Chain A
Amino acid sequence: MEPVRIDARGLHYTPLNQQIRRAVSEGATEISVDNVLGQRFIADGLKGEVTIRINGVPGGDLGMFMNGPTCIVKGNCDHAPGNTMDNGKIVIHGSAGDAVAHSMRGGKVFVRDDIGYRGGIHMKEYGEEHKPILVVGDNACSFLGEYMAGGIIIVLSKSGNTFGGRGVGSGIHGGEIILRGKLKERQLGVGARITEFTEEDLEKINPYIEEFCEYFEIDPEKYLDTKYTKVVASSSRPFAGKYVWE
């Protein structure tokens, strides 16, 4: 089928999503949405194998509950792209706001530049097929990976500034946060700990780095070493020692 073009100028998000849904149900596999300016919930709850190119700046919750599609954003994103996403991909040629990949259970989010606070909060994995991946090209703000219960967050700090935030992984009880460069203990949240980043870890994240670099035409070579810090949970039962029964 021919690629479908949708002009989003002045369009409210509901009719815009209706047009996208209609195109997908008619079998479109390539959709371009032009002149996007702040429309929220694009591809919300959308299922299927389709690539949506979003030209402009989408509003919050891009790809919320999405299951399958790929969204490629030529621009920045507002808060929480990939919120509670189940499967699929979001590729952002720019930066994104707070709570990126909030509660994401599967699929991948690639952000070329920076993300705001609380990135990857409560990301979780289950089974073999659900392992969410968030790769951030440059930097993230504080409270990254709070309450994380699975998946991998990778922050590459491509401009050379290492992660400077705090509260990394408060309440984390699963998954891994991998940050380029060194992290100080005091930057950790409660329940998180630093472990050594090994060759095996590199092998594990290698495909995600390569995929990231391919999207943004970056040479991956520079990132394929062990100069990372890995943050994991001190326990899969962070609250086990907090309570006593009546």
Chain B
Amino acid sequence: MSLGSVPLKYRIQIDRQQCMQCMRCVDNCSYGVFREEDDGNILIDSRKCTACHRCISMCPRDAINLSERPVDYRSHPLWTPEAREDVINQSRSGRIVLAGMGNAKDYPIIYDRLVLDACQVTNPSIDPLREPMELRTYLGQKPSKLDIRKQENGEIELNTKLSPNLELQTPIMIGHMSYGAISLNAQLSLAKAAAKTDTYMGTGEGGLHKDIYPYQDNMIVQVASGRFGVDINYLERGAAIEIKIGQGAKPGIGGHLPGEKVCTDVSCTRMIPAGSDAISPAPHHDIYSIEDLAQLVRGLKEATEWKKPVFVKIAAVHNVAAVAAGIARSSADAVVIDGFRGGTGASPKVFRDNVGIPIEAAIASVDQKLNDQGIRNKVSVIASGGIRNSADVAKSIALGADAVYIGTAALISMGCRVCGNCYRGLCPWGIATQREDLVSRLDPEVESEHVANLINSWTLELSELMGAAGINSIESLRGNRSRLRGYMLDEGTLDVLQVKPVGA
């Protein structure tokens, strides 16, 4: 017997009295939910809906209504509708379930159980309007001591050789999202925004398209296990190089861009054949140890004549602190930690929802380990994976991060509604698609403004939060866990975070 169909995920309804039959929903929905009949009536196929909200945002009459899971199952706390549907899906297919966007399981969010501090009476808060707030951040190795001599003419001479650092005007960077996974217009918008806000963004493992060259000074070029798009020119163009070992949304496994997404332009940028899968193996096959990692770090530095900082990105996993300490000794300049809420176009659901640890705990334990070993100055710590607002940024820095990468938040600022269907290549917002008509919906001039606005507003809020806490430099917030308190966090977690409970 057949398993039949599972209930609708979403139901779309049009308030026919409100509707003026402008047909914008028909034109805008790339999933084919709406169809115009000969008589001008609109037919709805709710089963195709992904809740991308494109129609809703375009409807001039607010006539469209969307409801999630309109059909009830018998309620059961363990056998959720999702659990049942996954079983049905796998019974039919016998395959691994892939899913989009970040971890969708209802784990507690540590950020939301941490509160920030403010000054009252005893030490005054600072008004960022009249006092300079120092948000400038340098990423890279710092010397453990400076050898400074005064010359006879009174000039100060620095005798310590400094490592190359990236200079950011805000501790917020845009994470790695590759051309191929997202459209060129989307990447261009992000790159322009990074340039406007004096920060950096990652290329992802998709090479560097020539249209992005004008923004190369704001790009961090990624070297992942597939080595896509990596050649000496690519390495030389980037402001910094990032070796990707792992990713929070799928720790321990490689990635693959399905062949249908590898069009000619994507193929040229990635330097792979068109139409074939772009497969990133799980490990780098020249890295089986920390010593091998050091070999690749040095290989990249040697290729670029030691002019560029090299970052190493890992997924936050159980022993992340020990791994980070190894990375700090590999001559890398920064370690990027991607928490288990990190977004992605596609990831096996079982990994996305079950492997890895929250970024908050990872930042704290890495910072602590590096401090304990006296090597915190050797690497900067960049945190990513589920950072939603300036408070998350402030808390990340107070836990010990130097800077953060944002991914999903930047996409939302360009229209993304976190529908999680990126893998289908039909993103109606022109982000996760290569279809020309959809890509052209995204105007890089306008969207770069939106992304820049987001970064600027978070930066403003960050300086307000710092001012309220009487801190005028990001350096004084970094790792300053005494300015955090845990609310309803268990003792074990508080211990890892090295944070006191509220009231203490």
Interface residues of A (CB under 8 A from B): 13-14, 17-18, 21, 40-41, 44-45, 47, 60-61, 64-67, 79-80, 83-84, 86, 99, 102-103, 105, 118, 121-122, 124-127, 130, 146-147, 149-150, 171, 173-174, 236-246
Contacts and interface: CB of A to CB of B under 8 A. Distances in A.
Given A102-B285, A243-B96, A237 B271 contact: no
Nearest to A121: B285
Given A40-B302, A67-B233, A238-B277, 15 more contacts: A41-B303, A45-B236, A60-B295, A65-B231, A124-B272, A150-B272, A150-B273, A171-B279, A174-B276, A239-B277, A243-B97, A244-B92, A244-B93, A245-B424, A246-B100
11 contacts: A61-B295, A65-B303, A126-B267, A147-B281, A236-B259, A236-B276, A237-B276, A239-B256, A242-B96, A243-B98, A244-B98
B285 A40 contact: no
Contacts of A17: 302
A17 B304 CA distance: 11
Given A79-B286, A102-B285, A236-B276, A45 B304 contact: yes
B259 A237 contact: yes
A244 B302 contact: no
Q: Which range holds the interface residue count of chain B?
A: 35 or more
B168 to A, nearest CB: 26
B232 interface: yes
Contacts of A47: 232
Contacts of B236: 45
Contacts of A240: 258-259, 277
Which 3 A-B residue pairings sit nearest by Cβ, starting from the closest?
A: A45-B303, A244-B95, A244-B93
Given A105-B231, A236-B277, A126 B285 contact: no
B47 to A, nearest CB: 14
A147 B258 CA distance: 15
Contact of A86 (B232, B267, B298): B232
Contacts of B275: 236
A246 B303 contact: no
Given A83-B286, A102-B285, A127 B268 contact: yes
Contacts of B93: 244
B326 interface: no
Contacts of A146: 281, 285
Contacts of B303: 41, 44-45, 64-65
B73 interface: no
Contacts of B415: none
Contacts of A246: 86, 89, 97-100, 349, 420
A65 B423 contact: no
Could you tell me the dominant secondary structure of chain B's interface residues?
mixed
A235 B96 CA distance: 19
Contacts, number: 145
Interface in B49-103: 86, 89-90, 92-93, 95-100
Contacts of B304: 45
Interface in B244-275: 256, 258-259, 267-268, 270-273, 275
A126 B272 contact: yes
A75 to B, nearest CB: 20
A86 B231 contact: yes
Contact of B89 (A45, A236, A237, A244): A244
Contacts of A105: 227, 231, 271
Contacts of A65: 230-232, 235, 299, 303
B256 A45 contact: no
Contacts of A236: 259, 273, 275-277
A171 B281 contact: yes
Nearest to B104: A246
Contact of B95 (A64, A127, A130, A241): A241
B272 to A, nearest CB: 5
Contacts of A86: 231-232
B152 to A, nearest CB: 32
B302 A14 contact: yes
A174 B273 contact: yes
A66 to B, nearest CB: 8
B89 A239 contact: no
Contacts of A83: 286, 299
A76 to B, nearest CB: 18
Nearest to B424: A245
